[in-house]
Each structure stands twice: as structure tokens, then as C-alpha cells.
Amino acid sequence: MSDWHVPDELLEAFATAPGSIDAVTAASIEQHMVGCGSCQSVVGARSSSSELDAIWAEVADRVDRAGASWSERLLSRLGLESGPARLISATPALRMGAVAAVGLIVLAVVLVSRAADVGAAFLVAAPVVPTALVAMSFAPGADPAGECGLATPVFGFGLVMRRALLVELVAVAALGVGSLFIPIDGMRAVAWVLPALALSLGTLAGAVRWPATESATVVLACWAGAVVVGAIAEPGNEIVESVVFDPAGQLTVALLAAAAGVVVLMHRQALVQEAGR
Amino acid sequence: MMSTIVVRGVDKRFGSTVAVDGVDLEVGPGVTGLLGPNGAGKTTLMRMLATVAAPDHGEVTVFGHDPATTAGRLAIRRRLGYQPQEPGFHGHFSCFQFVDYVAILKEWTSRRERHDEVRRVLGLVGLGDVSNRRISRLSGGMKRRLAIAQVLIGSPDLLILDEPTAGLDPEQRLRFRELLGSAAPGATVLLSTHQTDDVSALCSRVIVLLDGQVRFDGSPAELAARAEGRVWLADARDPMARLGWVGGDGRWRNIGDPPAGTDTVAPTIEDGYLVLTGADTLTEAAADE
């Protein structure tokens, strides 16, 4: 072992102002200190305990920081603080697996529509996707805090509706891309948007009284019934030309969506309870 | 001193089942135990006090606020720590992530301060070393401690704990008692339990609920006194006893109306509780005879 030690002024700078030393010198000092108790004790005595505490706190903070989900990172980039971003994105409907499944379903429906040259298949199937995701967001156990969260100041109608809105937007974005590739031209290609909104709101309206998954099942059954009735009522027409997707049908769907929205607003506390079960 | 919790004529029904039936009570600082058999209405009452459920009738005020109003709920929740009977954890979360998530819900916006607080409460319940372990890999007792950790975030003024010691082993229960004494000085603590020895060790006051109604409200000593002169030991189950069991020493502990000339023993809280909850049965049996 050598008798050489790091010069006093360098140790002083290393201990109190490490930024003032170039990287090569700092690495040399560190290497020497590994085997030199004398220099270790000098650095230990001169280092500020508060500075060490701060460094340790930073290290612990980084170790403990949870890996942010893709939706949390997205919301943070859009300007939301990390806390609210985590709360809004904390739903199984926004996990990567669920979003990947949505992408695959949309792709499959587009391919079927194109292969059969039946655009109506996409219009009929599309509203099911956001409805299922919204139901998943409100299913029992969907919130990570469960009933513990229900008794906190932040858990409320604003949070659960922002979460539902984000889920809806993700589904609508995926379906929007899909609708570019279906064999329907013009505004008819997006005739699924209002039914999607109505079915999602209908699911939430039902969730003020029944479990969200049961509510979604009933709402989707009603949707299937409406499509079948529309097709039977106008047997000569394509489904895409049926009453469900014509302007009058779209207006009716919009009114139903508005009515469901009113029910949700009137019973918002019950909806919050459902989201926290 | 102003009561933290005031309940007046509160009812709660689920269909045809009456869960809480005309309850009146006031709870102030200190530890109050809520005892009662399964289905007595303890959890329903605690959920109403924790602003999680609303009563059908009657008035509830907590810290002078009405939980039926949005502003009142918010004011209460800012001073509340609530541990439900079934916390419903997400198995894919780690201990740290779960408590951190609840801390965000409790308005801890500064990440650094929040993480310090999360580490503090995990340390208090002895989960500091496993903070990054997934909840799905925790034992039942550890999960119960995790549920207690989230209650302690921000050192709330009111702690509502629904069976906090269920699933804890004897050592963990002792630690919990120590923790409650040190972590919540001056706070109002309402805890429900089936463990009468927890009540003896922790509570200055005990409330017994039966069929949704308050059947007893007093000190643990007063509850024990309900069985005064009604507990005796014998080598066999006494036919006069309404309840009886063999103790660790092999002798039967009999509860009921002792035969004349029998030496009775000092009753415990459990004896008092059993006499109270079995009072209807005792009365009916006496009438039959």
C-alpha cells in the first residue's frame, strides 16, 4: 500500500464542491479512496451531513419512483402534474395489454369490413369498443385503492369522469384511424361516433344502480336489438343506410346520449361509489 | 370538549334488512372500540362515518361537518384515515406504489414530501424492508399492515379502523397496539374488532352493537361488570350454565345463573360481552323453565 494521499485541497473540493473537480480527477480520487481509510475519514469529516442527506434522499426517491405508465407519461407531456396524471391513468382499461387488444380488435373489424366489402360491420361493432372500456374502468376493483380511496378528498366525480373521458378518447382515436380504411365514403364512415358516446353514457347511467359490467351488457344488447330492428324494418337497404345510421337515427341517438348524461349528473355520487368498489 | 363524531337517529337499510337502527352516539378523542357479532351493523356504521355511505335517515356530523354535503365530505376526508374491512388491493402494485397512490388521493402533491411520508408510514407498520414487494406476494398479516399504513398518511385526526387486527398474529397485534398508542396521540380512533382483549388493551370506551342498535356504551370495566356474579369455574360443564367452555387449565368456565353457594370469579370483558349478546337467549330460556 502506498503512503501517498490525495492533496488536502483536492479532498476539500471533493467533499464540499464535487462539481468543481473534473471527471477524470474525481474518478482517480474515488479509486484511491476505495483502499485508503485515511482519505475516507478526511472526506467523511468534511462532507456536510445535510448535503449527504439530500443526496441520499434523491437516491431513495429515484429508487422508489414507480415506472410511469404510457398514459401517465402522455398526460404529463400534455401538462398535467404527475399526481393527477397517475390517478387518471390508473385503470385497467388503459394498461398496455388492454390498449393493444383494442388495436387488434379495430384492425380485425377493418379487415373483415374490407374483405366482405361491408362497411356496416365496422359501424355496428365500433361502439362496442369504448363501451367495453368504460365498463372496465368502473368494474369492481378497477381502482387501485378500492374502498380506501373512497374516503379520500380527491376521489370524486371529477376524477372518475376524467378517467372515463380518457378511456373514451383512446378508443375513439383507434376507431377513428380504423374508419379511414373501411369501404364507406363521407360522413357515414363516422356514423359510429354518436352511438359510441350514447352507449358509453348509457353504461354509466346504468352503473348508478347496477354493476357497470351488467349495465354495459344490457346497453350493448339494446344496441344489437336496434340494429336488427333497423335492418328488418328496411329489408331492401344496406344496414349502413338503415334508420340507425341516417340523420334521424343519429339525432335520436344524440338525444339518448344527452338523457343518459343527465342521469349520470343527477346520480353522480352513486357513480363514484361504483367506481370505488 | 366537542365530540368528533355525533350520530343522531341514524337508520340504514339494505332492502328488507335493517343494518343500522336508530343509532345515537357521540365519540370524542381517545380510542373507542366497537364490538358486536357479524351482521350487527358495525361495518355499515363505520362506512357512514367515513363518508363512504349515506344514512337513509338521521344526522351524522364529523368535526362539525355534514358528510351529506360536498364541502362537508371534503372537510372530513382531509382529517380522516379509513381502513375498510376489505381494502381490495391491486396485486400488481408494490407496497410503496399502493401507499403512494393513496397519498396522492390525500392531496400530497409534492412528490418528494409524499415519498418521505410513504416511507415513514411503511416504516411504522414494519413494511419498510419490503416496500418494493408486490402486494400479491404479501402474507395476509402484511396486507393488513399495509392497509393500516395508508390510514396513517398525514397523521389524521380521526382514524376509523374496521377490524384492523384481523389476520395479525399475536406479536403483530401487540405491535399494532403500540403503534396506535404512539402514532395517533390525541386523535379520535374508532375501531371495530372481534378481539375483546384488543378492547381491554386499547380502548377507554366500548360500544356494543346488536341488530343495528347500541346495546351498551361505557368503559371496558363496566362491560366486564355486566357479568359480575355470573361466571364460575367447575370441573365439568354446569347444567345451570347458558354458555361454557374449557379453559387452558382444563376447567370449565361457566356463564349464566350460578347454583346457590357457588363461588363466582372476576369477569372479563369477554364474559360481559357474552352475557350482553346472549341476554335475549338467557331471558327466553329462563321463561321456558
Query: How does pLDDT run across B22-45, given as a tens digit for each residue?
Result: 999 999 999 999 999 888 999 999
- Rg of the Cα atoms in chain A: 29
Please state whether beta strands B17-27 and B5-14 pair in parallel, antiparallel, or not at all (unpaired). Answer: antiparallel
The answer, for A87 touching chain B at a CB cutoff of 8 Å, is yes
SS3 at position B237:
coil
Taking the C-alpha atoms of residue B279 and residue B287, their distance in angstroms, rounded to an integer, is 12
Q: Does residue B132 sit at the A interface (CB-CB below 8 Å)? A: yes
- The Cα–Cα gap between B30 and B193 comes to 16
Average pLDDT of chain A is 86
Per-residue pLDDT of B69-117, as tens digits, reads 999 999 999 999 999 988 878 878 899 999 999 999 999 988 889 989 9
Kindly state whether B137 is in contact with chain A, defined as any CB-CB distance less than 8 angstroms.
no
* pLDDT at residue B140, rounded to an integer: 87
ipTM: 0.86
> What is the model's pLDDT at position A247?
86
Could you tell me the three cell numbers for B235? Answer: 370441573
Q: Which one-letter amino acid corresponds to residue A120? A: A
Cβ-based contacts of A65 with chain B (< 8 Å): 111, 115
Nine cell digits for residue B85:
374491512
Q: Could you tell me what percent of chain B has a pLDDT over 70?
A: 96
DSSP, collapsed to helix, strand or coil, labels residue A28 as helix
Say yes or no for a CB contact (<8 Å) between B96 and A154.
Answer: no
pLDDT score for B46: 96
pTM: 0.82
Nearest-Cα distance to chain A for B196, in Å, is 25
Among A26-30, A56-60, A74-78, A182-186, the range scoring the smallest mean pLDDT is A56-60
Is the model's pLDDT at B287 over the cut of 80?
no
For residue B177, give how far its alpha carbon lies from the nearest alpha carbon of chain A (Å): 21
Average pLDDT value over all residues in chain B: 89
Residue in B78, B109, B119 nearest the CB of A83: B109
Q: Tens digits of per-residue pLDDT, B184-222?
A: 778 999 999 888 888 888 899 999 999 999 999 999 999
**Closest to A160 measured CA to CA, from A248, A239, A230, A265:** A265
With beta carbons less than 8 A apart as the criterion, state whether A165 and A80 touch. Answer: no
pLDDT 10s digits, A16-66: 877 788 888 888 888 888 888 888 888 877 776 666 667 666 666 565 555
Q: Which residue of A has its CA nearest to B83?
A: A148
- Portion of chain B with pLDDT greater than 90, in percent: 60
Nearest chain B alpha carbon to A54: B112
Q: Please report the pLDDT score of residue B286 as a whole number.
A: 43
Confidence of residue B183 (pLDDT cuts 50, 70, 90): confident
Contact flag B98-A87 (C-beta cutoff 8 Å): no
Which pLDDT score is estimated for B95? 94
Q: What percent of chain A has pLDDT over 90?
A: 39
pLDDT at A223: 93
Q: What is the DSSP string of B239-278?
A: TTEEEEEE-TTS-EEEEESPPTTPPB----HHHHHHHHHT
Residue B282: the pLDDT is 46
Condensed to tens digits (0 to 9), the pLDDT of residues B231-283 reads 999 888 888 888 888 888 888 898 988 888 888 899 999 999 988 887 555 44
Q: Is the pLDDT of residue A237 over 80?
A: no
Q: Looking at the complex, report in whole angstroms how far the Cα of residue A207 sits from the nearest Cα belonging to chain B.
A: 16
| pLDDT category of residue A132 using cuts at 50, 70 and 90 | very high
Residue of B51, B118, B131 lying closest to A151 (CB–CB) = B51
Question: What percentage of residues in chain A have a pLDDT greater than 70?
Answer: 89
Chain B residues with CB under 8 Å of A82 CB are: 111
pLDDT at A50: 66
Cβ pair A87:B105 closer than 8 A: yes
The band of B135, judged by pLDDT with boundaries at 50, 70 and 90, is very high
Furthest CA-CA distance within chain B: 70
Asked if B68 contacts B53 with a C-beta cutoff of 8 angstroms, the reply is no
Chain B touched by A270 (CB under 8 Å):
no
- Write the burial class of residue A73 (CB in 10 Å: 0-12 exposed, 13-18 middle, 19+ buried): middle
